[in-house]
């Protein structure tokens, strides 16, 4: 009962007599107004015997112990505002524990009669307004009922009394079965109860009810029967919906007994990869990475279960294929009264959220750094005291670290008048939902008074008296020069608004995160079928809509177009500008795609940078051309993000039902294959599926699959191509090149697999392996007495921008012992020009370690001479495209001559790539080129052949 004091209080208010209710300890938890008036004060929280006086208090204490279990009546004397009052006390135990107490004033008999009559009337009102149906039957006929029962059946109480009971059932047979069961129980003197029975309304519709019945007088059926009827139609519907939600939920749900898995839902099989006929694990231990983690979770959960609480944690688990995933684990007892019934566990995949939390934590640290570097004092205030502030705020008031935290805002003002005026203005603006901006005199710790501009706003505009954020700027000098302040006012207000927006934005992120956690359970259904970032349909909903669209296309004899969209070079943007920028770009792409297609089309996101558009009602493939052109045009416009103007383009693969496939899986696979063909065709275009595309996609997949194990299996091999000194025709350096020796196939050329390594990100670990292997080989040659020849190692753009690059290079140099001056890194000019400030910092760190830097494929990118002058580059390599036609092309000769002149002016060394003839060599010598490289001297050689070349070059 103690969990429902409000419901008890509502019931007591319907009684005219003074009444109260107490819990099992005798403490009064509810009382009506009549008792408050009689006593002259509210008795809530007092022990029941305390209401009585003299010996009546002891009597009440003894009666209270019985009142918790039996109906009791006794006389007592209450101490009231008008003195002692003789009362008759009637008590009844409550089903949930405790007792209800009614006091009858017997000092005046007439008053008692009136109270009794009022009580009877009020009880009738209670019955008339009861939330459940109440029916009295006698002799097989319905004699009377309350309005609630009549409303359930669609009659008035008078009409229902004339209805035959059999007409209330869905069939005469159902009526007979019900009555046999009911009166079989009632005849034995027991209460009849049935949790679910269907009845017929006046309009013929059926509804479910819970029924309870007992005789008016035990043992006398002729005295009539009282029926309590509760409409449970909605409750049953809710139960069915819960069961459907359990079956179709994307959350994993398992039931365990003694840590063995007894059953699960489809969400568990999907999340953990136990699809089809794959048997479930017999023990939960198989879901954890180690037995220690499994035991720790079990022990912690048992402690919570023992206290009657649920258990919640985040832990790393593993799928059936061994892939780890972070999950939120919620466990609870199926029946707290019977622990042997086992436990239920809800598992939510939090892997993506884990990454999001890490991104949010980084953003919060960045925001704190921004606040500490702000030129304005910023403080958070609550209840007239500062909670915390930035360093600028402490400096403004002449305080050390933490000197402002917890200080009363009043102490920052030199006088009470200024403080009161500021409070009044702030309260007025906050109540109106405005940001408060004003100027007041404030006082530093040493007593110096200065003018400050204050800008504040509440965190929650709906609660203007709650926590607020303030920005403080010392404007003493501006006020002394009023004219200058007026000129700068607009700029200052803009700056303050920007700072306020920044802080509000950071707060909004926190509030959104908190709100999202609190509403996660409410969003389960939506999240099961929609992408959490863009709000678009996800893979599950897309599959459902494709099934429906295929059926509709079959009925209407039209085609269904499936357009698989992948964003070109999106990973470069994500890696270089961060996931927040990438997420913003994905949402913008989603919005543009929705605007570019019809309302009847479906735009879905599969994950990452992959989108799918369903276009139903297509009659010819030419209609898809218009849709593809609109999508390319919609994404062509640049996206402004944080000072960057980002350009994104799509590669689109198109297939048609029924021409290219009859089911969802086939259509998706063929559209994906066509998308890869679009990428191979130069990106930013669309391609229709053809059978040869499917073969090319299979080959691409085979290559990518093989590459993922090539490094671990030792299938990569460094080759070396010499760079020759023009003057001596001796080896000047060795360019390190990567080759892949595929088992059973042979040597694969870089053009076949390097783009795939770049695309899937494996270029970073593979590139680090190449640097280490080349340095180790150089040291091995030196130990054999061969000359120390510099190594020219290529760095890709993705590898170059990796945050761990510099640390990795330093570690390799230290561990192999190679002289840093023997290591030279070649970087394409396109990679150098991206993110120039970050590039300059990385190049500077490499240069300070003593290593050399050169620009590869010079002349094919978009070099800025201003940046080229700033970069610590020692050498440039002229691309082979300018050397190939050097003898026949005057333009190529002019370009090479210009590059040589530029290099000489910047004191840079030059290497000409792709030299294959003596004529080319002669022309380059005439231009003053110092170093050359090409098949005229040697192709790329393996380690053994390179060792022989070095030995021959030194005469060893």
How far, in Å, CA of 67 to CA of 49, rounded?
Answer: 13
Other CB atoms within 10 Å distance of the CB of residue 481: 11
Reported as a single tens digit per residue, the pLDDT across 84-113 is 888 889 998 887 788 889 988 877 654 555
CB 467 within 8 A of CB 421: no
- Please say if the pLDDT value at position 31 is more than 80: yes
Query: Of 625, 452, 614, nearest to 545 (Cα)?
Result: 614
Instruction: Give the highest mean pLDDT range of 66-70, 358-362, 516-520.
Output: 66-70
Q: Is the pLDDT of residue 724 over 90?
A: yes
Highest mean pLDDT: which of 389-398, 428-437, 451-460, 556-565?
A: 556-565
Percent of the chain clearing pLDDT 70 (strictly above): 89
Q: Given pLDDT bands bounded at 50, 70 and 90, which one contains residue 592?
A: very high
Cβ neighbour number for residue 910 with a 10 Å cutoff: 24
How does pLDDT run across 117-147, given as a tens digit for each residue?
665 566 667 667 778 888 888 877 888 888 8
Most confident of 181-190, 490-499, 553-562, 696-705: 553-562
- List beta partners, residue 330: 312, 346
Residue 346 has pLDDT above 70, yes or no: yes
For the chain, the distance separating the N- and C-terminal CA atoms, rounded to the nearest angstrom, is: 100
The span from the CA of 124 to the CA of 106, in Å, is: 23
d(CA 286, CA 278): 14
**DSSP bridge partners of 136:** 144, 226
Whose tokens are 């009794």? That residue is 116
Give 304-313 pLDDT, tens digit per residue: 888 888 899 9
- Percent of the chain at pLDDT above 90? 20
Output the pLDDT for position 831. Answer: 67
Q: For the segment 290-344, what is each residue's pLDDT rounded down to a tens digit?
A: 999 999 998 998 888 888 888 999 989 999 888 899 898 999 888 888 888 888 8
* Residue 407 reports pLDDT greater than 90: no
DSSP sequence for 156-223: -HHHHHTS-GGGGBSSHHHHHHHHHHHHHHHTTTPPEEEEEEEEE-TTS-EEEEEEEEEEEETTEEEE
pLDDT at residue 810, as a whole number: 92
The pLDDT value given to residue 818? 93
Highest mean pLDDT among 242-246, 380-384, 783-787: 783-787
Do 768 and 813 form a contact (C-beta atoms < 8 A)? no
User: What span, in angstroms and rounded, lies between the C-alpha atoms of 89 and 60?
Assistant: 9
Please state the rounded mean pLDDT for residues 717-733.
Answer: 92
Alpha-carbon gap, residue 269 to 319, rounded angstroms = 9
Higher-pLDDT residue of 254 and 491 is 254
- Residue-level pLDDT at 104: 85
Cβ within 8 Å of residue 151, ≥6 positions away: none
Phi and psi at 899, nearest 5°, equal -65, -40
What confidence category does residue 490 fall into, taking pLDDT thresholds of 50, 70 and 90?
low
- φ, ψ of residue 622 in degrees (nearest 5): -65, -25
Q: Look up residue 400 and give its two tokens.
A: 């050390």
Q: Give the number of other CB atoms < 10 A from CB of residue 806.
A: 17
Q: Which pLDDT belongs to residue 152?
A: 87
Q: At what angle do helices 351-373 and 482-518 cross, to 10 degrees?
A: 160
In Å, how far from its chain's centre is CA 349?
10
Strand partners, 287: none
Are the C-beta atoms of 49 and 75 separated by less than 8 Å? Answer: no
pLDDT digits (tens, 9 = 90+) for 651-661: 999 999 998 88
Q: Are 390 and 372 in contact (CB under 8 A)?
A: yes
Give residue 87's pLDDT.
Answer: 87
Do the bridges between strand 559-567 and strand 220-231 make them parallel or antiparallel, or are there none, so unpaired?
A: unpaired
146: number of Cβ within 10 Å: 20
For 10-25, what is each residue's pLDDT tens digit? 788 877 789 999 988 8
- Most confident option among 100-104, 459-463, 733-737: 733-737
| pLDDT for res 157 | 85
Q: Give the whole-angstrom CA distance, residue 897 versus residue 886.
A: 11
In order of 577, 855, 867, 878, the CA distances from 829 in angstroms are 20, 6, 11, 11
Residue whose entry in the numeric block shows the structure tokens 């190679």: 818
Could you tell me which residue, 941 or 479, shows the higher pLDDT? 941
Residue 8, pLDDT above cutoff 90: no
The predicted structure's pLDDT at residue 431: 84
Nearest CA-CA partner of 329 in 347, 342, 344: 347
Across the chain, mean pLDDT equals: 84
Spatial distance between the Cα atoms of 713 and 741, rounded to a whole number of angstroms: 11
Region 719-725 average pLDDT: 94
pLDDT of residue 696: 58
| Interval 605-658: pLDDT, tens | 988 889 999 999 998 888 899 899 999 999 988 888 877 778 888 999 999 999
Give burial (CB, 10 Å; 0-12/13-18/19+) of 450: middle
Task: Name the pLDDT band for 830 (thresholds 50, 70, 90).
Answer: low
Are β-strands 791-795 and 823-828 bridged in parallel, bridged antiparallel, or unpaired? parallel
Q: What is the pLDDT of residues 795-818, one digit of tens each?
A: 887 787 777 888 999 999 999 999
Mean pLDDT over residues 734-740, rounded?
Answer: 93
3-state helix, strand, coil in the chain (%, to 5): 45, 25, 25
Q: Do 628 and 686 touch, CB atoms closer than 8 A? A: yes
pLDDT at residue 373 is higher than 70: no
| 501-543 tens-digit pLDDT | 777 777 777 777 777 777 766 566 677 788 888 989 998 899 9
Residue 244: closest CA among 517, 524, 520, 516: 524
**Does 485 score more than 50 pLDDT?**
no
Contact 675, 693 (CB under 8 A): no
Q: What is the pLDDT of residue 799?
A: 80
Q: What is the 3-state secondary structure (H, E, C) of 483-547?
A: HHHHHHHHHHHHHHHHHHHHHHHHHHHHHHHHHHHHCCCCCHHHHHHECCCCCCECHHHHHHHHH
- The torsion region of residue 93 among left (phi > 0), alpha (psi -120 to 50) and beta comes to beta
Handedness of CA 616, 617, 619, 623 (dihedral sign): negative
Mean pLDDT of 928-939: 91
What are the tokens at 291? 């037995």
Cα–Cα separations (whole angstroms), residue 915 to 431, 642, 829, 857, 927: 79, 45, 21, 14, 14
How does pLDDT run across 282-291, given as a tens digit for each residue? 888 989 989 9
């Amino acid at each position: 009962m103690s969990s429902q004091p409000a419901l008890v209080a509502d019931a007591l208010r319907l009684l005219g007599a003074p009444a109260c209710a107490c819990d099992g300890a005798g403490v009064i938890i509810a009382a009506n107004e009549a008792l408050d008036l009689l006593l002259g004060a509210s008795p809530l929280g007092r022990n029941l015997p305390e209401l009585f006086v003299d010996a009546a208090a002891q009597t009440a204490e003894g009666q209270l112990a019985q009142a918790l279990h039996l109906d009791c009546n006794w006389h007592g004397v209450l101490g009231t505002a008008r003195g002692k009052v003789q009362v008759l006390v009637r008590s009844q135990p409550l089903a949930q524990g405790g007792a209800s107490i009614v006091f009858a004033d017997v000092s005046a008999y007439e008053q008692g009669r009136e109270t009794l009559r009022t009580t009877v009337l009020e009880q009738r009102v209670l019955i008339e307004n009861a939330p459940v149906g109440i029916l009295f039957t006698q002799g097989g006929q319905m004699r009377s009922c309350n309005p609630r029962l009549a409303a359930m059946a669609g009659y008035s109480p008078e009409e229902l009394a004339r209805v035959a009971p059999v007409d209330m059932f869905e069939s005469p047979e159902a009526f007979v079965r019900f009555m046999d069961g009911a009166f079989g129980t009632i005849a034995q003197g027991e209460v009849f109860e049935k949790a679910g029975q269907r009845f017929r309304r006046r309009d013929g519709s059926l509804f479910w009810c819970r029924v309870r019945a007992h005789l008016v007088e035990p043992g006398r059926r002729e005295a009539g029967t009282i029926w309590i009827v509760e409409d449970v139609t909605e409750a049953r519907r809710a139960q069915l919906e819960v069961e459907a939600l359990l079956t179709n939920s994307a959350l994993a749900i398992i039931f365990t007994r003694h840590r063995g898995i007894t059953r699960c839902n489809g969400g568990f099989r999907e999340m953990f990869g136990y699809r089809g006929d794959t048997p479930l694990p017999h023990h939960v231990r198989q879901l954890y990475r180690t037995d220690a983690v499994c035991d720790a979770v079990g022990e912690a959960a048992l402690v919570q279960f023992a206290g009657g609480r649920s258990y919640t944690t985040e832990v790393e688990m593993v799928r059936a294929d061994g892939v780890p995933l972070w999950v939120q684990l919620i466990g609870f007892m199926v029946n707290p009264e019977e622990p042997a019934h086992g436990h239920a566990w809800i598992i939510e995949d939090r892997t993506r959220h884990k990454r999001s939390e890490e991104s949010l934590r980084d953003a919060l640290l960045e925001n704190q750094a921004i606040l500490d570097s702000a030129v304005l004092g910023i403080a958070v205030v609550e209840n007239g005291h500062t909670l915390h502030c930035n360093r600028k705020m402490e400096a403004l008031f002449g305080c050390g670290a933490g000197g402002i935290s917890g200080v009363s805002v009043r102490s920052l003002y030199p006088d009470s008048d200024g403080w009161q005026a500021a409070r009044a203005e702030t309260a007025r603006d906050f109540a109106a939902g405005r940001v408060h901006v004003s100027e007041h005199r404030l006082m530093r710790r040493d007593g110096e008074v200065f003018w400050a501009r204050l800008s504040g706003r509440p965190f929650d505009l709906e609660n203007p008296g709650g926590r607020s954020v303030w920005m403080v700027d010392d404007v003493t000098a501006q006020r002394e020069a009023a004219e200058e302040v007026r000129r700068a006012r607009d700029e200052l207000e803009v700056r303050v608004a920007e700072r306020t927006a920044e802080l509000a934005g950071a707060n909004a992120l926190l509030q959104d995160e908190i709100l999202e956690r609190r509403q996660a359970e409410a969003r389960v259904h939506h999240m099961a079928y929609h992408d959490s970032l863009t709000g678009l349909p996800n893979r599950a909903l897309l599959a459902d809509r494709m099934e429906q669209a295929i059926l509709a296309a079959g009925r209407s004899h039209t085609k269904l177009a499936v357009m698989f969209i992948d964003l070109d070079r999106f990973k470069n943007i994500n890696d270089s500008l961060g996931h927040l920028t990438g997420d913003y770009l994905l949402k913008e792409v989603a919005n543009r795609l929705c605007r570019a297609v019809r309302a009847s089309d479906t735009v879905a996101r599969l994950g990452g940078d992959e989108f799918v558009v369903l276009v139903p009602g297509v009659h010819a493939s030419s209609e898809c051309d218009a849709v593809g052109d609109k999508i390319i045009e919609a994404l062509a416009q640049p996206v402004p993000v944080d000072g960057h103007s980002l350009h994104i383009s799509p590669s689109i693969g198109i297939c048609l039902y029924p021409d290219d496939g009859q089911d969802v899986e086939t259509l998706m696979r063929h559209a994906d294959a066509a998308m890869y063909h679009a990428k191979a065709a130069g990106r930013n275009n669309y391609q229709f599926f053809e059978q040869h595309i499917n073969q090319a996609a299979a080959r691409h997949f085979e290559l990518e699959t093989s590459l993922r194990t090539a490094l671990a299996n030792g299938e990569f091999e460094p080759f070396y191509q010499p760079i020759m000194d023009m003057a001596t025709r001796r080896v000047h350096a060795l360019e390190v090149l990567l080759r892949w020796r595929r088992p059973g196939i042979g040597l694969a050329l870089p053009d076949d697999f390097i783009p795939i390594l770049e695309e899937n990100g494996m270029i970073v670990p593979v590139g680090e392996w190449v640097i280490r292997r080349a340095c180790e080989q150089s040291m091995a040659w030196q130990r054999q007495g061969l000359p120390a020849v510099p190594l020219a190692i290529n760095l890709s753009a993705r590898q170059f921008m990796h945050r761990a690059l510099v640390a990795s290079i330093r570690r390799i140099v230290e561990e192999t012992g190679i002289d840093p001056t023997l290591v030279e890194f070649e970087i394409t000019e396109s990679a150098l020009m991206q993110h120039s400030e970050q590039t300059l910092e990385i190049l500077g760190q490499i240069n300070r370690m003593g290593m050399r830097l050169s620009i590869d494929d010079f002349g094919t990118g978009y070099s800025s001479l201003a940046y080229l002058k700033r970069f610590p580059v020692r050498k440039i390599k002229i691309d082979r495209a300018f050397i190939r036609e050097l003898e026949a092309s005057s333009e190529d000769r002019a370009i090479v001559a210009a590059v040589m002149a530029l290099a000489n002016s910047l004191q840079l060394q030059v290497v000409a790539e792709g030299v294959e003839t003596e004529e080319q060599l002669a022309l380059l010598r005439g231009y003053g080129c110092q170093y050359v490289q090409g098949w005229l001297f040697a192709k790329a050689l393996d380690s053994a052949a390179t060792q022989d070349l070095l030995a021959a070059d030194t005469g060893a």
